[in-house]
Amino acid sequence: MSNYPLDDPPSTWPVADIAAAWRRELPGAETDSIAVITPLWRTAKALADDRRRTLAQLGIDPSTLDLLSVIRRAGPPYELTTREITERALVTAGAISQRIARAEEAGLVERAPSTASRRAVAVCLTEAGHRLIEETVRQLLAHESRVVADLSEAERTVLATCLAKIAAALA
């Protein structure tokens, strides 16, 4: 039985048919990326769908997970200014304000004067926010560890390196 696609030569992967069709239909078109990008795109979609389902089961939405994770990873005292959150979350200040408002309403964070600056506002995890993010991240990481469990440590390292190169090329 085949361990698709690992045991099969690239010419037998389903994406080989896609590349062959484009070479036929658009002679001279560069099709070398199809063998990488198409499975990567499909995998990214499957991972996004899986994460959405997993987070729904855990009772947290992706934007709240992102906000609470950014604050929790900062370490004690588990507070950041809105500017620091915006820089680390890679979303707009407006989106961060909405996330903070929703999380504050849910009792997961609270705003207070920042210890870093007189004019800044700090966003701190509440006890409930702290508990929620720790439990959620533990369960999410355990689930995602099972997703990659069939990869050896060497395969994970190679894959992570290759994905970092692709991400850098897109940045």
Q: For 20-63, write each residue's pLDDT tens digit.
A: 999 999 999 999 999 899 999 999 999 999 999 999 999 999 99
N residues, the chain = 171
Domains in the chain, ordered, with CATH?
60-171 (1.10.10.10)
In whole angstroms, what is the distance from residue 111 CA to residue 102 CA?
12
pLDDT at position 92:
92
62-116 confidence digits (pLDDT tens): 999 999 999 999 999 999 999 999 999 989 999 999 999 999 999 999 998 877 7
Tokens for 52?
A: 């959405």
Rounded to two decimals, what is the model's pTM? 0.80
Task: Let me know: does 143 contact 54? Beta carbons within 8 Å.
Answer: yes
Res. 5: pLDDT tops 80: no
In whole angstroms, what is the distance from residue 89 CA to residue 119 CA?
21
Residue 92's region, left for phi above 0, alpha for psi from -120 to 50, else beta, is: beta
Tokens for 102?
A: 């929703």
List the Cα angle 140/145/146 in 5-degree steps. Answer: 100
Confidence of residue 1 (pLDDT cuts 50, 70, 90): very low
Label residues 118-142 b or e (16+ Cβ within 10 Å = b).
eeeebbbbbeebbebbeebbeebee
Tokens for 37?
A: 């990008």
CA distances (Å), 163 to each of 86, 95, 150, in order? 24, 27, 18
- Work out the number of other CB atoms within 10 angstroms of the CB of residue 93: 12
CA distances (Å), 138 to each of 7, 50, 58, 144, in order? 33, 16, 11, 10
